[in-house]
Amino acid sequence: MVDRRLTRLLAHEMASGLRAGDFSARELVDAHLGLALATDRPLHAWLFLDDEAARAAADRADARLAEARRAGAGALNALPALLGVPLGLKDLVVTRGQASTAGSRILEGFVGPFDATIAARIREAGGIVVGKTNMDEFAMGSSTEHSAWGPTANPWDLGRVPGGSSGGSAAAVAAYHVPLAIGTDTGGSIRQPAALCGVAGMKPTYGRVSRYGIIAFASSLDQVGPFARDVRDLATLLQVVAGRDDNDSTSSPLPVPDYAALLPEGDDEAAALLRGMRLGLPREYFAAGLEPGVEARVREAAAALESAGAEIVDVSLPHTDYGLATYYLIAPAEASANLARYDGIRFGHSMRDGDVLANYLATRGTGFGPEVKRRIVLGTYALSAGYYDAYYVKAQKARTLIKADFDAAFERVDALIAPTSPTVAFPLGARMHDPVAMYLSDVCTLPVNVAGLPGLSVPCGLSDGLPVGLQVIGRAWEEARVLQIGRAYEAISADAGWRRLEPSDLPALENPSTPAPGVAAGSAA
Which residues have a catalytic role annotated? 90, 165, 189
Helix or strand (DSSP H, E) at 75: helix 73-77
Backbone angles phi, psi at 480, to 5 degrees: -60, -45
Contact 103, 134 (CB under 8 A): yes
Helix or strand (DSSP H, E) at 313: strand 311-315
Q: Is 169 exposed, middle or buried (0-12, 13-18, 19+ CB in 10 A)?
A: buried
Compute CA 420 distance to the chain's CA centroid, rounded to the nearest angstrom.
Answer: 13
Number of helices (H), then strands (E), in the chain: 19, 11
What string of DSSP letters covers 121-157? HHHHTT-EEEEEE--SGGG--SSS---TT----BTTB
Per-residue exposure over 116-147, b if at least 16 CB sit within 10 Å of its own CB, e if not: bbbbbbbbebbbbbbbbbbbbbbbbbbbbbbb
Cα dihedral across residues 127, 132, 134, 140: positive or negative: positive
Contact 54, 35 (CB under 8 A): no
Best CA proximity match to 372, nearest among 141, 192, 162: 141
Compute CA 171 distance to the chain's CA centroid, rounded to the nearest angstrom.
Answer: 10
Please compute, for residue 77, the number of CA atoms within 13 A of its CA located in the half-sphere on the CB side.
3
Q: Coil, strand or helix: which one is 181?
A: strand
Contact residues for 392 (Cβ-Cβ < 8 A; gap 6+) = 329, 330, 333, 382, 383
Q: Coil, strand or helix: which one is 452?
A: coil
Contact 444, 471 (CB under 8 A): yes
Quick one: the chain helix, strand, coil %, rounded to 5?
Answer: 45, 15, 40
Backbone angles phi, psi at 472, to 5 degrees: -115, 125
Q: Coil, strand or helix: which one is 349?
A: coil
**CA dist list (Å): 514 to 42, 135, 206, 523:** 6, 21, 40, 11
Integer Cα distance of 207 and 212 in angstroms:
11
